[in-house]
Chain A
Amino acid sequence: MNLTRLTAVLAGLLAALLLAPSARAQALDRAGLIANLCGNASAMGEAASVLTGLAMSGDAADRAFAVPLARAVIDRKLACDDAGAVLTENGLDAVTRQPRAAAGEPLTPVLSLKNRATYEQVDAALALRAAPEASQRAAALKTLERRPALIPEGLLEAAAAAEPDAGLKGEIETLAQTAALTAADPAARIRALARIADNPSRRALTQVSALTADPAYAASPEFRAAVDDATVRIGRGIAVGDVLATAYNGLSFASILFMAAIGLAIIFGLMGVINLAQGELIMIGAYVTWLVQQGLRVVAPSLLDWYLVLAIPVAFFVTAAIGIALEASLLRHLYKRPLMSLLATWAVSLFLMNLVRVVFGTQNLQFETPFYVTGGVPVIGDFIFTWNRMFAILFAVVTLALTWGLVRRTPFGLNIRAVTQNRDMAACIGIPTRRVDMMAFGLGSGLAGLAGLALSPIYSVNPQMGQNFIIDAFMVVVLGGVGTIAGTVVAALGIGQINVLIEPLWGAVAAKVIVLLMIIAFLQWRPEGLFAVKGRRK
């Protein structure tokens, strides 16, 4: 839950408390309320305001007590007698809610024309707060919508805060803004403006800027100041939200790039081989994730939501096994011929892509969306902190940490670094370079499989998907420099952010063109990439 929203709700509640002190200050005088309902027009008006107060604040028990009353008055199902009143619908006493018969000559209170409208409104307000079914609350909302100016201030905010249904909650919030802005009381409108400005969004901006045409805008300087102030604040909020949203999208794109590129970078640094089949390994990682999901559906449906987690080892080991097989059968013979290894890995990529196409077909795979990657939290402006992107970011961070630990802190990593720096010398001191190559190729391929897994909640999964990332991933490797994790991270972040920054201005294609030109220009300055390993130029 974010703070701005919370403060808005609190402010709404506070306003409600201030406006309806009688309802809150002491426990509800139930008998008095019923007496007023049976009284004359002004007493009934007083009762209506008490009921309104109950709808906004008051405790749940009192509200439940009040729910049938307004409806009973409207439908003339309230029989007033000497001992109070009876709800004729079910023959219960209006105060005690015990069954009793009406005493003496019961009178049915008659609503004045003015009060009738009020009671309709009160009934809807109570239903909105206390009705058990979402459909009933939605119907009540429709009733309230007809006369937004009459909705008591603070009611909708309180209702929205308590509303469990997300769709209905959004509708209530929209109505709350409209209602507050069209209120009759200028002070209430100004307060509403301040509240709306607390939750900036493009919708709010449209609403507020429409008010400049309102007669009050020209007539009242306070109102004009409030509108202008709200416009500025909302504008600022939207700008902040847009910046955050761009940064967030850039970060999530960068994590995907990083996941796709880190395996490439390790392999390239170690063996000077660019694996053109890396994109297809990503694709296979996504397909393995899908297969795990389908398997769980059959074997253990209760665990279905956790398929993304359970697929992690499977995706890693399947793609790592493919990578090791590829290394042992094909690339092993090509280390001295890196250009030929480009063609060979392209052949593998062609083969894998068409194999998957033949086996699974070309259509996009359908993935379940587990709860932990569903929805998001609106933060400010139009920036929504979505969980599926967060999943990709966290996944990339964890992968980064593990890869870093593996390369920096384990004997295997030490071997990888030694062979990367000087293959011949590493062989001289007894490091089994061929074995290191094979295992490192497996590691790089497994990381591609994990990238596929991380992609599956965000992008569409089909046999061609690898092609969309592979060239960007190459650019990350070229920019970052050979075989450095830090270079890969920085290059992925840079390329991801630049892409996302340029895209809204000139489009996705221009972003790619500009990024490529920047990389070519950058290589003029540092031909070995950002974080070149110091050493002799080969």
Chain B
Amino acid sequence: MNRFGLITHTAPIVHLITLIVLAALLMAGLAGTEFALSRYLANAIGQLAAFAVLAISLDLIWGYLGILSLGHGLFFALGGYLMAMYLLKHSFEITGTVPDFLQFMGWKEFPFYWDGFEFFPYALAAAVVMTTLISGLFGYVSFRSRVGGVYFAIITQALVYVAMLLMFRNDTGFGGNNGMTGFTVLFGWPMGTSGMITALAVASLLVLAGVLAGCNGLVKSRFGALMLATRDDETRLRTMGYETLRLKLIVWCLSALIAMLAGMLYVPQVGIINPRVLSPELSLEIAVWVAIGGRGHLVGAVIGALLVNAVKFWLSFAAPEIWPFILSGLIVLVVLVFPNGLMDLAKFKLVRPMGPKRLASDMGEARP
């Protein structure tokens, strides 16, 4: 729609998508040769790609719709848990080893609701249906009563917190506080080999590129224009006769599905899932990635997720104690000095904290 803005606006994202696809192809091409990345590095790239997908999912509703969710870890975990169920059941079919958590509970066989999870299509369908149901129901009741802004953020945080408490229980049949681990087979191939690690990383990069392209298409479309309009003045849009409830609900469910996808990519690469992915801290951290990268810019969300997590990966070896201090310092810096995150840096637009123009860049938050 934006014929003149097309070149200037889409250039960075086209570059980024090309870069990601090239990186994926390069990794795939070099696999097995002496130039191949180390297993650790390949694995880290794959995990970072999964986090970038997660950041995009939050940017879609926060950056483009002005709705902050502090509970996106819920959908990430949903995808992760259902993927883990598939992996465990599938590994059990092939190798016959009973998962640890079943032995721990003294159970002889899988609970009935694990039936069918040895088929990946079933697990994927279950994940999609569950995510759509939960996000749809929660989104419907919230948006219908026009719960928004801080209220919505707080309630989503409570939601993910409650889900964490629920999953910490051992009797739910999902591994309890130890979570699920011990995945050995994926699609019939043994896991943990460098080939599998590279394949997963490449797949994650390709999914990231696909999600980026898809979301870019969405936000540049007429629908995307409506999203921005809802963010900036929902009342006016409603007065003009647009049904914003449906629009918000669609974007919200889509965002949840992308977060679920990220979870499904993430779990086979870390080899474990436990209730800690449901902790409110992780969900808040996703918002921090997006804020640091720049809300309302898909490129920003990806770069934010990559940067913050790369620093975190590195510091968790070098100096785990100081990571929280660095993270809080980063947040304060972004919040006070660069309200649009790295996007401000990219444009060399250093904003004074109290500047009168600040409001213009505060997308979707003009009203308390």
Contacts and interface: CB of A to CB of B under 8 A. Distances in A.
Contact of B336 (A333, A335, A358, A516): A333
A342 B168 CA distance: 26
A443 to B, nearest CB: 20
Nearest to B163: A513
10 contacts: A335-B368, A340-B362, A350-B324, A351-B328, A471-B157, A471-B161, A474-B157, A512-B162, A516-B155, A523-B147
A295 interface: no
A338 B149 contact: yes
Contacts of B154: 274, 474, 477-478
B340 to A, nearest CB: 11
A334 B149 contact: no
A418 interface: no
A350 B141 contact: no
Interface stretch (B11-19, B111-119, B242-250, B284-292): B284-292
Contacts of B334: 343
Contact of A351 (B141, B284, B321, B325): B325
B365 A338 contact: yes
A340 B291 contact: yes
A520 B327 contact: no
A538 interface: yes
Interface residues of B, number: 51
Given A336-B368, A338-B368, A524 B68 contact: no
Contacts of B162: 509, 512-513, 516
Nearest to A348: B328
Contacts, number: 130
Given A471-B161, A527-B146, A342 B151 contact: no
A337 B68 contact: no
Nearest to A521: B141
Interface of B is mostly: helix
Interface in A221-273: 268, 271-273
A347 B147 contact: no
B169 interface: yes
Interface in A336-382: 336-344, 346-348, 350-351, 353-354, 358
B125 interface: no
Contact of B150 (A339, A475, A516): A339
Interface of A: 268, 271-274, 330, 333-344, 346-348, 350-351, 353-354, 358, 471, 474-475, 477-478, 508-509, 512-513, 516, 519-521, 523-524, 527, 538
Interface in B112-157: 138, 141-142, 144-147, 149-151, 153-155, 157
B365 A336 contact: yes
B177 to A, nearest CB: 12
B335 A272 contact: no
B67 to A, nearest CB: 9
Contacts of B362: 336-337, 340
Given A333-B335, A343-B291, 19 more contacts: A268-B150, A271-B368, A273-B150, A274-B153, A333-B353, A336-B359, A337-B365, A342-B150, A343-B334, A347-B327, A350-B324, A350-B328, A354-B328, A474-B157, A509-B165, A509-B166, A513-B162, A520-B155, A538-B367
